[in-house]
A and B are shown apart, each in its own frame.
Chain A
Amino acid sequence: MVATEIKRDFPLKGMLVIDVATFIAAPYCASILGEFGADVLKVEHPVGGDPCRGFGTATRRGDTLAWLSEARNKKSVTLDLRSKEGAKIFRELCRKADVVCENFRPGTLEKWGLGYEVLAKENPGLVMLRVSGYGQDGPYRDRPGFARIAHAVGGLSYLAGMPKDTPVTPGSTTLGDYLSGLYGAVGVLLALKEKERSGLGQFIDVALYESVFRLTDELAPAYGMYGTVRERHGPHVRVAVPIGHFRTKDDKWIAFACTTDKLWARLCDAMGRPELASSGLYGESARRMEARHEVNQIVAAWAGSLNRDEILDRCIASKAPCGPLNNIADIYGDRQFAARQNLVPREAPGLEGDVVMVPNVFPRLSETPGRIDSLGPQLGEHTDEVLRDLLGLSPEEIADLHEKRVV
């Protein structure tokens, strides 16, 4: 730590964040705060810890790659919140904290005497992020929530798939978790900003399904005004033609997005068929929408006649918007990812000799870029250090807590 601490300034330097949440949703908010300088204490159950440690592909250290990547910069402190002593220590930590992130089922922290009201009485400036499947109120609040369910309830899953066929996962099962972490971070930063004026904290109530629903552009207003119910459209997008995915000769896939007549004309140039962009044929958007099927067929036939890289070269030369459907092997070989350093190698204790590649900090700030100083910690790695330095407990007191399995 000492070596890397030289002269770096961060927007959240000196801030203390307690992450008592699990998996990705609320913890991702804490990860972002940690990337930009906050000290993040990951509070976990002494037995097993955060189940995210078991989510996905295991490393030889026992915990998974998802854990290593997403618990970056955090310190692990074990604490049994169900025990009286554990709850008391948690309250003491919260008294010193600026932010607490949690995603228990609504009412759980209250049951342990650790609800927002209790914590805010002792620390009126505390900002608390509460993430749950359905939010802190409403008829479904007690139902278990997962991102897959949230994608369904929020209206996204219904829209992913071939028309009338089985709806598919919208690309990734954890999207709703990440989105909720992002909304959580927005809420926390807003609350911290407001606190500068009033001195008071508040809580932010994020529901997974709401984070998904908020991103559905005109879906709600179009139903409200015209009764339009949007359906699944497979690889295509209905607002313009051609926007979709097309198979190439080498059995790869490419995406085109011609949202305007000008962009369509450029694609016709790339295809070597400028006449298709004439007003007699498909030059105008209205005409292409009518002849959606023919236009898509023409593009599909062309895409199927060339390898992916040839198509990309032609489209880049004529400035037509296109991109390969990258799998992760493509991404590792992509020059843009390399130039932007979107992947960074890190090492972790217990994995000596191995390099773990993780997505870099995002967003990218010019003067005070974020950091990844360490990957996900081992369970309880920092318990003693934090109890000693932050709460001033003696070695005997700490030993006693270990013995009672409070930590």
Chain B
Amino acid sequence: MSEQANEQPLPLDGIRVVDVGTFIAGPYSASIMAEFGAEVYKVEHPLAGDPFRRFGTATKRPDSSLAWLSEARNKKSVTMDLRMPKGVELFRRLVEKCDVLIENFRPGALESWGVGWEDLRKVNPGLVMLRVTGYGQTGPYRDRPGFAHIAHAIGGLSYLAGFPGQTPVVPGSTPLGDYMSGLYGVIGILLALRQRDKTGRGQVIDIGIYEAVFRQLDELAAAYGMFGKVREREGAGTVIACPHGHFRTRDDKWVAIACTTDKMFARLAEEAMGRPELSSSALYGTKAKRLAARKEVDALVGAWTMSLSRDELMDKCNEAEVPIGALNNIADIFADPHYKARGNLTTMDVPGVGEVVVPSVIPRLSRTPGRIKTLGPPLGNATDEVLGALLDLNQAELKQLHEARVI
């Protein structure tokens, strides 16, 4: 805490956050807050800790997978057994000293331990509490277990990923919905903190992961409501523009091309492909004609992309200002000069692990940019420090709590 004195001020300096969530959904809100100056206490079970520590690829440090190291950045680990009365008491006292509480237990769990919203607001009326679950705190499904994979399905995203009539695939990444929930969560928290500064009163932000997914599906709901339109899987393209999809290249890579207007298609046909006749009004010059002849247009573009390497295609399209992008895999990303110039990857040296490369902080603020000071902490690395400083526990008391396995 003291070392921050010399640093540039950050937007959330002085804000204290208790993150008692697991995995990504709620905790990602806390990670963003920590990147921008908040002090985040990751409250974990003394023995097992957050199961996220064991999610994905392991490292040399047994309590820290790579995903944990990256996403628990800047946090301090404080252990506490919430199933023991003494642990609950410590938790209540800690929350009393903090501005924000983030949790993602099943609805009712905190209440059953005596530290639900009604209990906590009595000891801390200004508290802002983020609650993230699969289905939210209310409604008939509230008690069902929730995972991002299920939330993508419920929220309507998974149904749309894949080829028409074929197996729906994972929409690129399994924890997408968790991250989305974290983003909505931190927006809710920042709004609620602003309101608290005006009135002194805190509030609850209630997030169902499926809702975070559903909110991002543009006109899907409105088009069904008005016209009964049920959107289906559209493969690599989209029914509203053409050519607008993924195309294979001669060197067996893939590019995305997105011509949303006639002007863009004209640039593709005339300048990049060298086939000006294709964008004539007699052929495919208008969107209506291209949509009607989608198969032919995609085949023409596909045949052209197969005649060139990915890099050649990128050059031709960029020169003609046709929107194109490589379908990067992670090796491509590490070699990409733009990622490098923007500093999108940060290398951190982690004690007991070695060098770890993680995605850098976004969003990018011009005057008070966020920062990564540390990666995910070892289990319980700040228990004594935090309980000593914030709750005034002395060495003897801490020792007793350790022995009783409360912390």
Q: Are A167 and B236 in contact (CB under 8 A)?
A: yes
CB proximity to A under 8 Å, residues B281-333: 318, 321-333
Judged by a CB distance under 8 angstroms, whether B135 is at the interface is yes
Chain A 162-193 interface 0/1 with B at a Cβ cutoff of 8 Å (1 = within): 10001111111111001100111111011111
Q: Are B342 and A138 in contact (CB under 8 A)?
A: yes
Q: List, in ascending order, chain A residues with CB within 8 A of B325's CB.
A: 148-150, 152-153, 209
A224 to B157, CA, bound (A): 30
How far does the Cβ of A175 sit from chain B's closest Cβ, in whole Å? 6
How far does the Cβ of B331 sit from chain A's closest Cβ, in whole Å? 5
Q: List, in ascending order, chain B residues with CB within 8 A of A9's CB.
A: 195, 199
Q: List, in ascending order, chain B residues with CB within 8 A of A295's CB.
A: none
Q: List, in ascending order, chain B residues with CB within 8 A of A149's CB.
A: 256, 258, 323-325
Q: Tell whether A186 pairs with B32 under 8 Å between CB atoms, given A32-B187, A137-B341.
A: yes
Contact of B11 among A57, A183, A194, A345 (CB under 8 A): A194
Q: List, in ascending order, chain A residues with CB within 8 A of B65's CB.
A: 218
Judged by a CB distance under 8 angstroms, whether A297 is at the interface is no
Judged by a CB distance under 8 angstroms, whether B383 is at the interface is no
Q: Are B172 and A156 in contact (CB under 8 A)?
A: yes
Q: Are A148 and B169 in contact (CB under 8 A)?
A: no
Q: Are B184 and A182 in contact (CB under 8 A)?
A: yes
Q: Which residue of A lies closest to B232 (CB)?
A: A327
Q: List, in ascending order, chain A residues with CB within 8 A of B153's CB.
A: 245, 253-255, 323-326
Q: Are B331 and A229 in contact (CB under 8 A)?
A: yes
Q: List, in ascending order, chain A residues with CB within 8 A of B151's CB.
A: 323
Q: Tell whether A367 pairs with B201 under 8 Å between CB atoms, given A194-B9, A259-B147.
A: yes
Q: List, in ascending order, chain A residues with CB within 8 A of B162's CB.
A: 161, 168, 235
Judged by a CB distance under 8 angstroms, whether A200 is at the interface is yes
Q: Which residue of B lies closest to A150 (CB)?
A: B325
Q: List, in ascending order, chain B residues with CB within 8 A of A222's CB.
A: 56-57, 66, 330
Q: Which residue of B lies closest to A319 (CB)?
A: B145
Interface hit among B75-83, B272-280, B350-358: B350-358
Question: At the interface, is chain A mostly helix, strand, loop or mixed?
Answer: mixed
Q: List, in ascending order, chain A residues with CB within 8 A of B114's CB.
A: none
Judged by a CB distance under 8 angstroms, whether A1 is at the interface is no
Q: List, in ascending order, chain A residues with CB within 8 A of B221's CB.
A: 69, 328, 331-332, 343, 357-359
Q: Tell whether A323 pairs with B154 under 8 Å between CB atoms, given A158-B329, A365-B192.
A: yes
Judged by a CB distance under 8 angstroms, whether B156 is at the interface is yes
Judged by a CB distance under 8 angstroms, whether A225 is at the interface is yes
Contact of B156 among A10, A148, A327 (CB under 8 A): A327
Judged by a CB distance under 8 angstroms, whether A151 is at the interface is yes
Q: Are B234 and A169 in contact (CB under 8 A)?
A: yes
Judged by a CB distance under 8 angstroms, whether A7 is at the interface is no
Q: Tell whether A216 pairs with B173 under 8 Å between CB atoms, given A169-B238, A328-B224.
A: yes
Residue from B10, B185, B197, B225 whose CB has the most chain A CB atoms within 10 Å: B225
Q: Are A220 and B145 in contact (CB under 8 A)?
A: no
Number of interface residues of B (CB under 8 A): 151
A68 to B183, CA, bound (A): 24
Q: Which residue of B lies closest to A369 (CB)?
A: B203
Interface hit among B40-48, B89-97, B204-212, B390-398: B204-212
Q: Are A183 and B170 in contact (CB under 8 A)?
A: no
Q: Are B195 and A367 in contact (CB under 8 A)?
A: yes
A206 to B32, CA, bound (A): 15
How far does the Cβ of A280 sit from chain B's closest Cβ, in whole Å? 24
Judged by a CB distance under 8 angstroms, whether B215 is at the interface is yes
Chain A 116-134 interface 0/1 with B at a Cβ cutoff of 8 Å (1 = within): 1000000000000000001
Q: List, in ascending order, chain B residues with CB within 8 A of A221's CB.
A: 57, 66-67, 69-70, 356-358
Q: List, in ascending order, chain B residues with CB within 8 A of A219's CB.
A: 330
Q: Tell whether A321 pairs with B145 under 8 Å between CB atoms, given A186-B363, A328-B220, A340-B138.
A: yes
Q: List, in ascending order, chain B residues with CB within 8 A of A2's CB.
A: none
A167 to B169, CA, bound (A): 10
A169 to B234, CA, bound (A): 8
Chain A 301-345 interface 0/1 with B at a Cβ cutoff of 8 Å (1 = within): 000000000000000100101111111111110111101101101
Judged by a CB distance under 8 angstroms, whether A64 is at the interface is yes
A55 to B241, CA, bound (A): 10
Judged by a CB distance under 8 angstroms, whether B59 is at the interface is yes
Q: List, in ascending order, chain B residues with CB within 8 A of A340's CB.
A: 135-136, 138-139, 208, 211
Q: List, in ascending order, chain A residues with CB within 8 A of B187's CB.
A: 32, 182, 185-186, 189, 363
Residue from B216, B344, B354 whose CB has the most chain A CB atoms within 10 Å: B216
Q: Are A356 and B226 in contact (CB under 8 A)?
A: yes
Judged by a CB distance under 8 angstroms, whether A398 is at the interface is no
Known: A159-B170, A214-B362, A255-B153. 11 other contacts (CB 8 A): A139-B337, A148-B244, A171-B172, A193-B194, A194-B10, A217-B71, A218-B67, A220-B334, A224-B355, A321-B146, A337-B214
Residue contacts A-B, CB under 8 angstroms, 25 given: A11-B192, A56-B219, A57-B226, A134-B342, A135-B364, A157-B256, A160-B170, A171-B171, A183-B363, A185-B187, A193-B11, A204-B365, A206-B362, A213-B359, A214-B359, A216-B359, A220-B345, A223-B333, A229-B329, A244-B170, A257-B150, A328-B224, A357-B221, A359-B214, A365-B203
